[in-house]
A and B are shown apart, each in its own frame.
Chain A
Amino acid sequence: MAERVYPRLVAARLRGQASYRASFALLCVVSALSQLVELAVILIVFTRVSALGGFSVDEVILMYALAGVAFGIADMVAGQLDELPTYIRTGTFDVLLLRPLSTLAQVMTSDLHLRKVGRTVASAAALVYALAHNDIAWSPLTAPLVVVAPLSGAVIFSAVWVISCAVCFWLVDGQELANSVTYGSGAFTSYPATVYGPWLRRFFAFVVPGAFVAYYPALALLGRPDPLGGHALLGWASPLVAAVTAVVAGLVWRFAVRHYRGTGS
């Protein structure tokens, strides 16, 4: 039964958004621009330097684009979790618990912001540019990475979103802390991991497996060895990492919901 409910829910949300055409179009453009502002930052910095963390401008754009597509999809799918504190505070979450559907899926589909597609489209355009302007080591092994890496990245980001937002079950004001992990890892992955100091790298590349979103796949596409000494096969590890983080996220969510007691409002 549940399989039919979700497409219907999502379709209803999408129809609702499409009814305000002008507002929707403007918000799509803003979403795309917000991604392009980050590109502008990269380009401005590169008017002053020729390499960042040992990577050229086109190589950095490749990582930025892979991260952007992944983050854009995750933001569309999981971004709604940012509303979780409101659901908890107002008691709306209790209603979700009563329905015979998964709470996580209900929160995720409670609103699907199609306007966020702007970010994904802009990133995909940057990805096409980066693939054309870099010396890609094309082979039957690397070609699938172009699709597999952003999709795995989207799963990784979504899982990170679930885990960090689950903090709000304990801390009602935890949203900002969760933001530093979700949006923070979004910012982290847009640049090569070599840019960051050891502590930031340990946290955002491996505790939050951000390095598997863009950095390692980009190295594999470029056919470059990892300056940090990682194994060459790590570029293909993203789907595996994505699967593991998704399972962890599922477990954390279940544990958090069991802990939930309502705010009594």
Chain B
Amino acid sequence: MRAYARLALAGFRRYSTYRQAMLAGMATNVVFGMLRLAVLTAAVSQGPIAGYDLAAASTYTWLGQGLMAFVVLWGDKQLAERIRSGDVVVDLYRPWHLQLALFAEDVGRGAHALAVRFLPPVAFGALFFPFRWPEPAALPAFAVSLVLALTTSFGMRFLLNATTFWLLDNRGLHALYTLSTWLLCGLTVPLAFFPDRARAVLWLTPFPAMLQAPVDVFLSLAPQWTTLAHQAFWAVAVMAAGHLVLHRAVRKVVVQGG
């Protein structure tokens, strides 16, 4: 257990080394937030849409801008690269559960992202734009929702990376994943704006659990327990799937001598 805590700490430290890049990233994030918000504002200023008025649309935008780095909406490639190069063999030999070890590191990364990539755009939005604060009672639920969002997103990214065991080159799949999360997780338009049937289908998938769900909990737009239950289900489901997939993949790995 202590090893996993150390890994989490290392994950936190690793991402706090790049300060200049972080500042530049923040500026980019804010610019895109303003561009996205302008379009939404033009839409909701004609009258609230699906519970979103001006303040809710702005809060939604800035939470989304903050959350996308927290849940790494564009996916990551680290494990995929190690599988492709064969370095994964070393990881599999170590006395740990690979999935849990990577998860611990991702929790550390998430904690860092929460402080430097989530809070700044949200603070910027709260200062300069209309903002809807949640009821104080909703904050613990929001915290739980964030943890579940991170877990689901890690589980999805782990599965995405693990496809490399079979595909050897998952770049096409990775590109497809990155492309779909923007829309399906509810980053570009709130899922509530989608036509009814599309929305119903989307909520059957893990995608909303990563971004739209925490936003819904923050804004109290949907019954909190239903949203949290959806997230908890998918967090467990994708982690369990990852465990199974890894189990199958390990039996497939062939170490080429030399």
Contact = CB atoms under 8 A, between A and B. Distances in A.
A177 B28 contact: yes
Interface string B169-187: 1011001100110110000
A23 B172 contact: yes
Contacts of B24: 171, 173-177
A200 B43 contact: no
Interface stretch (A8-16, A37-45, A138-146, A250-258): A37-45
A196 interface: yes
Contacts of B18: 173
A187 B180 CA distance: 17
A183 B182 CA distance: 15
A200 B34 contact: yes
A37 B50 contact: no
Interface in B166-224: 169, 171-172, 175-176, 179-180, 182-183, 188-189, 193-195
B35 A200 contact: yes
A45 B193 contact: yes
A173 B18 CA distance: 9
Contacts of A195: 38-39, 41-42
A187 B21 contact: no
Interface residues of A, number: 36
B49 interface: yes
Nearest to B196: A47
Interface in A34-67: 34, 37, 40-41, 44-45, 47-49, 51-53
Given A173-B21, A184-B31, A200-B35, A27 B175 contact: yes
Given A26-B172, A27-B172, 15 more contacts: A27-B175, A30-B176, A37-B179, A41-B183, A41-B189, A45-B40, A45-B189, A45-B193, A48-B43, A173-B24, A175-B24, A176-B25, A188-B35, A200-B34, A200-B38
Interface of B: 18, 20-21, 24-25, 27-28, 31-32, 34-36, 38-43, 46, 49-50, 169, 171-172, 175-176, 179-180, 182-183, 188-189, 193-195
16 contacts: A30-B175, A40-B183, A44-B189, A45-B189, A51-B46, A52-B42, A52-B43, A53-B42, A173-B21, A176-B24, A177-B27, A180-B27, A184-B32, A187-B32, A187-B35, A195-B42
